[in-house]
Amino acid sequence: MHEMSIVMSILDMAADRARAADARVINAIEIEVGGLAGVELEPLRFCFQVARRDIAPEAELIVHEIPGRGRCAGCGSEAAMDFAWAVCPDCGEVGLEVLQGRELRVRSLSVD
C-alpha cells in the first residue's frame, strides 16, 4: 500500500515546516489529490489517522479531489477523464492529453 508512504512523506514535510516556523502543533494539512494520481482516498485517510499519532496527533487531513480532464490531440475537444487512457467523446480518438488530475501536493498547513 503506497498510501502509507505518501502519508509519511506529507507528515515529515509538515513536521519540518512546523519546526521551521517554531510551531508546536499541526492543526490541519490540506492536500490536493488528482483523480488520475493513482491514490486511493479511503486508504490514504486511514493511513493518515494511524500515522499522525506520533507526529501530529491533533492534525486534520483536508483532501481536495481534482477531477481528471484531458484534451484530444485530434479535434481539440476537452473532456472529463476517469482513466489515463480515455477516449474522446467527440471524435473517438484514444489517448487524451492530460490537463489535470495527476496532482498530489500539499496546499496548506495550519499550525500553532
- Tens of pLDDT along 7-58? 999 999 999 999 999 999 999 999 999 999 999 999 999 999 999 998 999 9
Q: Does pTM surpass 0.75?
A: yes
Residue where the block lists cell 499550525: 111
Q: What is the dihedral of CA 14, 18, 20, 24, to 10 degrees?
A: -150
2-67+101-111: CATH number: 3.30.2320.50
CA atoms of 10 and 16, how far apart (whole Å): 10
What residue ranges do the domains of the chain occupy? Answer: 2-67+101-111
